[in-house]
């Protein structure tokens, strides 16, 4: 008997189809992994299960009864708890208050602090986190402890189904082990856990069964032991991985355009040296928080550099230049945070393309709107951006098309050095392939590309050279053929060998 059964769930947002027929079932005492690329619809599905969104079509049953939660409150009353990818805690409240948020013990409306503390302590007892005291303010806790608070909230709500959306994305190794131990305990108590992730190793370690989502559809399901990683990846991308990347043409390495020696950018980047040549794609691998993004931001003048040497196009450059100066030096930066930093979402596609290079369509400071539109259209066609007009707000585009606009800006700016930070994050598979092509094409036209990515197949499929960042130290860069995925991981997790 399944705890939760869902069938034929569909959901569209305007013209975008987010879910296009998802079915699977969850049994009591099982960890069921939902795997899929970013944009496959995992988060939409979670939100539907948690009552934050309503499906357009499809049926859901909880314990054999129809389940149509109209709100998160109703979902939680039925015993479904969602643990968000982005933590949803109140930093100004205490641990106990957060754990009991929405169901605070009270009498005559007066919050019963001692009872709350006792209830919270009951749940917290099972976690070996010394900083987790019921009276601590959540905002003062480290990230991993905050995540534990979220999980405690689910436990305290007596949830029978716990939805976990990429719960390890902000955790260190030890904390992941703690989390897994906890998940196993919940499982042994008969809870059903839906575990979203795209880390296959993690899924293997914790899940009993899996369902793969691709483009909003459930395409495969079964016991996790029955499938190899290759099969899972093939299900996820819908074609075998090697078709995803453009054919690599051997390029003669050009002159050095960026030479970085002993770059130190506190607090994260402790030492980074590398050279980047024209026509070359240098990959930077590493765990999240290892300092990859911080290095790129420091190079682009978005974070202070303490010491080191930066040579751009064979001449020494200021260590701490402004982004404007870097753009003058023909450096371009693609932020990993597309919505927060990469794009001006309410502005048009054309404006976003030109933000760093309005010069091409201005005369004495006045915009030539016709020229701007003409040039924007050129990039829209060249990059295959799906937009009706150049005047459409970027906000209305899909993630993949937004990212193409962000990349297009660097191309329009005609940067020689492209610092790309997670260029395919949150992008559907089709756009991914197009973005790979754009990047390879740029390198083919003698641009130098620094490609930061958490997705190893991407690095191996695209790069000429690879270096690994680990706890703020960048390893030597070596030709991609001398690396193996295992080797990269080994360096990434073990700072000593770097």
User: CA-CA distance, 232 to 377, in Å (whole number)?
Assistant: 39
- For 260, the token pair is 């970085």
196/257 with CB nearer other proteins: 196
81/452 with CB nearer other proteins: 81
Q: How far is the CB of 43 from other proteins (least distance, A)?
A: 14
- Label residue 21 exposed, middle or buried (CB < 10 Å: 0-12, 13-18, 19+): middle
User: CA-CA distance, 135 to 117, in Å (whole number)?
Assistant: 7
Q: How far is the CB of 269 from other proteins (least distance, A)?
A: 21
Cβ count within 10 A of residue 176:
17
Q: How far is the CB of 85 from other proteins (least distance, A)?
A: 13
63/104 with CB nearer other proteins: 104
User: CA-CA distance, 78 to 55, in Å (whole number)?
Assistant: 18
Phi then psi for residue 10, to 5 deg, are -125, 145
For residues 466 and 477, is the Cβ–Cβ distance under 8 A? yes
Please, how many CA atoms are within 13 Å of residue 265, restricted to the half-sphere of its CB? 28
Cβ count within 10 A of residue 433:
19
113/311 with CB nearer other proteins: 113
Q: How far is the CB of 119 from other proteins (least distance, A)?
A: 7
137/306 with CB nearer other proteins: 137
User: CA-CA distance, 455 to 467, in Å (whole number)?
Assistant: 14
Question: CB under 8 Å to 15, separation ≥6 — which residues?
Answer: none
User: CA-CA distance, 95 to 142, in Å (whole number)?
Assistant: 12
73/344 with CB nearer other proteins: 73
Q: How far is the CB of 92 from other proteins (least distance, A)?
A: 4
- Residue numbers at the binding site for other proteins (CB under 8 A): 50, 52, 71-73, 76-77, 82, 84, 88-94, 97, 101-104, 106, 109-111, 113-115, 117-119, 121-122, 133-137, 140, 153
User: CA-CA distance, 239 to 219, in Å (whole number)?
Assistant: 13
Q: How far is the CB of 133 from other proteins (least distance, A)?
A: 5
Q: How far is the CB of 19 from other proteins (least distance, A)?
A: 20
54/173 with CB nearer other proteins: 54
User: CA-CA distance, 207 to 183, in Å (whole number)?
Assistant: 10
């Amino acid at each position: 008997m399944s705890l939760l059964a869902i069938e034929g769930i569909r959901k569209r947002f305007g013209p975008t189809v987010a879910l296009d027929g998802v079915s699977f079932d969850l049994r009591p005492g099982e960890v069921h992994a939902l795997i899929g690329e970013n944009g496959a619809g995992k988060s939409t599905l979670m939100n539907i299960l948690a009552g934050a969104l309503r499906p357009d079509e499809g049926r859901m049953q909880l314990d054999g009864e129809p389940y149509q939660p109209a709100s998160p409150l109703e979902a939680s009353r039925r015993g479904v708890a969602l643990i968000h990818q982005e933590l949803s805690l109140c930093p100004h409240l205490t641990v106990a208050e957060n754990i009991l948020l929405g169901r605070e013990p009270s009498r005559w409306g007066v919050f019963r602090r001692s009872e709350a503390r006792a209830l919270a302590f009951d749940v917290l007892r099972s976690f070996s986190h010394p900083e987790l005291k019921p009276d601590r303010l959540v905002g003062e806790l480290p990230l991993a402890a905050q995540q534990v608070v979220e999980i405690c909230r689910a436990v305290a709500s007596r949830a029978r189904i716990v939805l976990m959306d990429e719960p390890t994305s902000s955790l260190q190794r030890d904390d992941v082990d703690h989390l897994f131990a906890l998940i196993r305990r919940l499982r042994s108590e008969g809870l059903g856990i839906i575990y979203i992730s795209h880390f296959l190793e993690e899924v293997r370690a914790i899940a009993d069964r899996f369902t793969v989502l691709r483009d909003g559809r459930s395409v495969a399901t079964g016991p996790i032991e029955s499938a190899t990683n290759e099969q899972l990846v093939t299900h996820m991308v819908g074609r075998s991985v090697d078709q995803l990347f453009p054919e690599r043409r051997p390029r003669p390495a050009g002159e050095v355009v960026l030479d970085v020696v002993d770059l130190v950018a506190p607090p994260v980047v402790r030492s980074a040296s590398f050279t980047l040549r024209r026509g070359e794609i240098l990959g930077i691998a590493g765990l999240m928080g290892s300092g990859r993004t911080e290095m790129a931001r420091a190079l682009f003048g978005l974070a202070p550099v303490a010491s080191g040497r930066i040579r751009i196009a064979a001449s020494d450059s200021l260590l701490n230049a402004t982004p404007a100066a870097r753009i003058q030096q023909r450096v371009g930066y693609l932020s990993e945070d597309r919505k927060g930093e990469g794009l001006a979402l309410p502005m048009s596609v054309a404006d976003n393309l030109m933000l760093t290079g309005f010069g091409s369509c201005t005369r004495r400071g006045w915009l030539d709107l016709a020229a701007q539109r003409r040039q924007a259209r050129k990039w829209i066609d060249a990059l295959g951006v799906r937009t009706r007009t150049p005047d459409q707000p970027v906000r209305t585009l899909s993630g993949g098309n937004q990212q193409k606009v962000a990349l297009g800006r660097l191309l329009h700016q005609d940067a020689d050095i492209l610092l790309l930070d997670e260029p395919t994050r949150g992008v559907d598979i089709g756009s991914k392939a197009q973005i790979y092509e754009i990047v390879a094409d740029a390198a083919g036209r003698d641009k130098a590309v620094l490609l930061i990515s958490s997705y190893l197949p991407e690095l191996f499929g695209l790069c000429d050279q690879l270096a690994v960042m680990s706890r703020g130290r960048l390893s030597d860069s070596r030709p991609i053929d001398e690396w193996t995925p295992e080797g990269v991981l080994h360096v990434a997790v073990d700072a000593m060998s770097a």
